[in-house]
Amino acid sequence: MANGIIDPLRRADGVKVVDATLRDGGIVNNFYFPEGFAEALYAADVAAGVDVIEFGYKVSKKLFGRDGFGKWKFCGEDDIRAVVGGKDAAVKIAVMADVGRVDLREEMLPKSQSVIDIYRIAAYCSQIAEAAEMIEYAGKMGYFTTCNIMAISKNDISEVRAALETVARTPADVIYIVDSFGSLSPDDIKRLCDLYGEIAYKYGKKLGIHAHNNLQLAFANTLAAYGAGVEYLDATICGMGRGAGNCPLEALIGYLRNPRYSILPVLKFIRGHMMPLRESGVEWGYDVPYLLTGLENVHPYAAIDFLKAGRNDYAAFLGEIAESKKR
Amino acid sequence: MANGIIDPLRRADGVKVVDATLRDGGIVNNFYFPEGFAEALYAADVAAGVDVIEFGYKVSKKLFGRDGFGKWKFCGEDDIRAVVGGKDAAVKIAVMADVGRVDLREEMLPKSQSVIDIYRIAAYCSQIAEAAEMIEYAGKMGYFTTCNIMAISKNDISEVRAALETVARTPADVIYIVDSFGSLSPDDIKRLCDLYGEIAYKYGKKLGIHAHNNLQLAFANTLAAYGAGVEYLDATICGMGRGAGNCPLEALIGYLRNPRYSILPVLKFIRGHMMPLRESGVEWGYDVPYLLTGLENVHPYAAIDFLKAGRNDYAAFLGEIAESKKR
């Protein structure tokens, strides 16, 4: 045991830091990032030693018009290639595909023709059969896949267990614990790591964690998962993401003290690109209304609307949430 | 075990929520709170079921001129009485006294003549002998006492252990784990709970936790202590406190789900008093420079100066911290 109060020991092996800034951050600004932002982020992630960078979503262009969204809503092959060039870096490239929002048969190239490495398939428990089909297809097309089961804080353990049993039988490489509503505590995460691990490890799957900051617990929940052996750790720079945002990548890399990672390129990116983004009026991060939706275990959109409306009558808002849960 | 993903069970007994807004928050604005702020805070804490409200510091008027500070730097008996009136409420009234900054023989009334219930004696490990004398004196004068051992993240375990052995032999009722630099993680806190508990419980002492938010872990660290049986939980409304601030009281009360506490009066106080305070230009809370001083385990004053100077060259700042640690 160390003599100091702070234990400097960290798990050295099997950790992957996943930068989801463009994808989860893109939800904040409809993927309208400034010119050069994605290029600078990619360069920062390469220099920082980040393992995976998630560029955005694959969605059906039939369902979503190009007009209302920036390019990372669609992640066209050419758009990604324009950023990563020859892609000699070690960082893997991921995109997310939601069940019901994309037909992979139309939007996915065979891996040999694509610069994308990883498809992250996102689904609610109730959609897990469709997710399994998408994972099968992506696996056959040559991709590394993850399954991100969303909004589990609304499910019973039996429902999550059933979903896990289905996903575990697919070729998915990683199964993610996703705290969509930011309602979970480190103790909840530890119990979920046991539940997910019990099923996933039997089938040779890895685990991942994607946390939200409604209760100011995104970083703590990520550390709880890391401490329980979870390998894929999602984070975003400055925690940029929907509503209260995510685990800040700079905190995670700083904490890990792993020589594979360097915080300096991230700090330079924050100064050069994240601060101007904030100053341009793009808003995210912890605030009281997100605490309330997190505590009440409801989707954060109510809090996003509340803040957009310029309201601060928190007590009334709490009453509205309670009412909405009765319906 | 519950069927839901979120475990609703909470420890029901032996928890005390301590509102340190006026004291730790006062460090942010030199204790210049708006007219009526302390009265409204006291009323909100009473209505919310908060167990202890810390009004501020007791310091020697010889050492600190009245000019540069608001009244809660001094906590005059009459000033507190003007807020609490007849004090029929259950909430206990606390003040903090730092070793070396106050002569209790001059500033402390016998308990029978004072509205104050609790003296919190703050000291570094190296000052623990003087702290013990102050605790002895306050105990003899009839007060409930706590010992808040500061900046322990800079100490070796052996130094903390020696300090604990000294404090445990005083009449102190509570011994606090204090993360002055906001450098500790939930895992560190759990090990400290074991270390403190091993000595404190033998002597019939309770434990307390005072966390800072440099790593966005103040709430998580408070929950980690709570989970380990710590009874006195410090928090401040909106996390107001030096630098990155503290554990947000509204998050703590919301999480506890204990019918003794009500979040609504706190939410109303935030709207009526904390938001105007922020809008008036008083600044606190997590920011990248605090992350860096927290990760490097140094006092946050460097980050406070950095932000006051309007700087955002984080990478250079990190270099400066590293240099300062060599000196």
Contact A102, A66 (CB under 8 A): no
Task: Output the six-digit token pair for B124.
Answer: 């570094």
Chain A residues whose CB is inside 8 A of the B186 CB are: 186, 220, 223-224
Is the CA virtual torsion A176, A19, A50, A111 positive or negative?
positive
> Looking at the partner chain, which of A152, A216, A297 has a beta carbon nearest the beta carbon of B248?
A216
Is the CA virtual torsion B245, B249, B254, B255 positive or negative?
positive
Is the CA virtual torsion B98, B101, B105, B111 positive or negative?
negative
Q: Tell me: the pLDDT tens digits for B213-235?
A: 999 999 999 999 999 999 999 99
Interface test with chain A among B7, B124, B189, B216, by most A beta carbons within 10 Å? B216
Chain B residues whose CB is inside 8 A of the A3 CB are: 156-158
The pLDDT of residue A7 is 80
User: What is the enclosing helix (H) or strand (E) of A77?
Assistant: helix A77-84
Collapsing DSSP states into helix, strand and coil, what is residue B55? strand
Q: Tell me: the pLDDT tens digits for A260-297?
A: 999 999 999 999 999 999 999 999 999 999 999 999 99
The pLDDT of residue B2 is 60
Task: Output the six-digit token pair for A48.
Answer: 């920082």
The pLDDT of residue A1 is 41
Residues 6+ positions from A234 with CB-CB distance below 8 Å: A18, A20, A24, A176, A208, A209, A210, A211, A222, A246, A247
For B58-187, strand residue ranges (E) read: 92-98, 118-124, 144-150, 174-178
Q: Tell me: the pLDDT tens digits for B4-23?
A: 888 877 776 789 999 999 99
Q: Tell me: the pLDDT tens digits for B173-201?
A: 999 999 999 999 999 999 999 999 999 99
Q: How far is CA A259 from CA A50, A136, A158, A262, B326, in A?
A: 12, 36, 40, 7, 21
Whether B220 and A218 lie within 8 Å, measured CB to CB: no
Q: Which residue in chain B is spatially nearest to A178 when comparing CA positions?
A: B5
Contact B185, A255 (CB under 8 A): yes
How many CB pairs lie under 8 A apart between chains A and B? 150
Position of tokens 């130094």?
Answer: B159
Whether B192 and A216 lie within 8 Å, measured CB to CB: no
Q: Tell me: the pLDDT tens digits for B128-178?
A: 999 999 999 999 999 999 999 999 999 999 999 999 999 999 999 999 999
> Looking at the partner chain, which of A156, A186, A291 has a beta carbon nearest the beta carbon of B223?
A186
Mean pLDDT, residues B291-299: 96
Chain B residues whose CB is inside 8 A of the A270 CB are: 288, 314
Chain A residues whose CB is inside 8 A of the B124 CB are: none
The residues of chain A scoring below 50 in pLDDT are 1
Where are the alpha helices (H) located in B36-182, listed in sequence order?
A: 37-48, 77-84, 104-107, 128-140, 157-168
**What count of Cα atoms within 13 Å lies in the side-chain half-sphere of residue B48?**
32
In this structure, of A86-90, B26-30, B55-59, B297-301, the range with the lowest mean pLDDT score is A86-90
Bridge-partner residues for B174, per DSSP? B146, B206
Whether A314 and B220 lie within 8 Å, measured CB to CB: no
Assign residue B14 a region: left if phi > 0, alpha if psi is -120 to 50, beta otherwise? left
Whether B270 and A314 lie within 8 Å, measured CB to CB: yes
Q: Using the predicted structure, report yes or no on whether residue B106 has a pLDDT greater than 90.
A: yes
Whether A288 and B250 lie within 8 Å, measured CB to CB: yes
Whole-number average pLDDT of chain B: 95
The pLDDT of residue B155 is 94
